[in-house]
Structure 1
Amino acid sequence: MPNIEVSQETLDRLKSLAEPLVDTADTVIARLIAAHNGQHNGRAESTVASLKTETRRSHTVPRKRGRKGERARKGERTPTEEFYEPLLQVLAAAGGHLPAVDAINRVGQVMADRLNEVDRARLPSGEVRWRNSVRWARQRLEEHGRLDPKAPYGVWKVTQAARP
């Protein structure tokens, strides 16, 4: 397989479009090309959201649909609280702050052996449930003063109170 060199910025953008534990750089690039080739009136779709949606749907593992439109029953998914400590640990290990996408990906790596089928299923929004749970964990930690609500957009940062 040929190797190519890309800038760190391009690699970071590829990572932001990838589904952890599912995608490779090759599958993300293939989806982007497919999205580009599916252009309308000579122009590729320009919004990041539409590219992400196309990226996720074209080459990832299909989502398992259980009870359509229903919420996960109590006890089926990993509770949001279970993501608090891994998220704080990931941020602390990175010096106290990370871009949101990197923090989510690293929490996924830390918790990979604890996530179940329900956690790995997609929500109606298209997002994987465990990733959504990490976002909710961030929100709760912010409400409890452990994460900084004034951190730059897209960056998750621990507060001084949360530092060891």
Structure 2
Amino acid sequence: MRPILEILVKQGGSSDANVVLDLLYAKMAPVLNDYDHTPLASDGITPRWRNTAQWARNSLREQGLIRPDSPRGVWIISEAGRAWLRQG
């Protein structure tokens, strides 16, 4: 979850979800395995890593680290998210 928050900070605090996911893939590609790249059975297209990242975003929102009031398709880090990153 930390990489998502770090990306949002580097993007100025908010970004289009697809941009965040593309940047996240670039950052995480060295540690993703074959299973992470397999498509979900539900649609046969979406790679598992992408679905996992979207669930991580949901968890961040529930924890208050990403703003829940952001427009659809836009991820915005909250002040609590910035503080969490500063804590290490």
TM over 0.5: yes
CA radius of gyration, larger in: 1
Residue 134 (structure 1) aligned to one of 44, 53, 65: 53
- Please give the secondary structure, in 2, of the residue aligned with 1:101: helix
Which amino acid counterpart does residue 17 of structure 2 have in structure 1? A
State how many pairs are aligned.
81
Aligned Cα RMSD in Å?
A: 0.8
Q: What stretches of structure 1 move > 3 A for 4+ residues in a row?
A: none
Give the equivalent residue in structure 2 for 1:88. 5
1:148 aligns with 2:67: yes
| TM-score (normalised: structure 1) | 0.48
Q: 2: distance between equivalents of 1:123 and 1:132?
A: 8
| TM-score (normalised: structure 2) | 0.88
Could you tell me which runs of 5 or more consecutive residues in structure 1 were left unpaired when the two chains were aligned. Answer: 1-83
Shift of 1:153: 1.0
Which amino acid counterpart does residue 31 of structure 2 have in structure 1? R
Give the equivalent residue in structure 1 for 2:21. 104
TM-superposition CA deviations, 1:102-148 (whole Å, max 9, x none): 00110000001010000011011221100001100000000000001
Give the equivalent residue in structure 2 for 1:73. none
Looking at secondary structure, tell me which structure has more helix per residue. Answer: 2
Q: 2: distance between equivalents of 1:143 and 1:137?
A: 10
Could you tell me which runs of 5 or more consecutive residues in structure 2 were left unpaired when the two chains were aligned. Answer: none
- Please give the secondary structure, in 2, of the residue aligned with 1:137: helix
Give the equivalent residue in structure 2 for 1:51. none
Shift of 1:160: 1.0
If asked which structure has higher relative contact order (CA below 8 Å, sep 6+), I would say 2
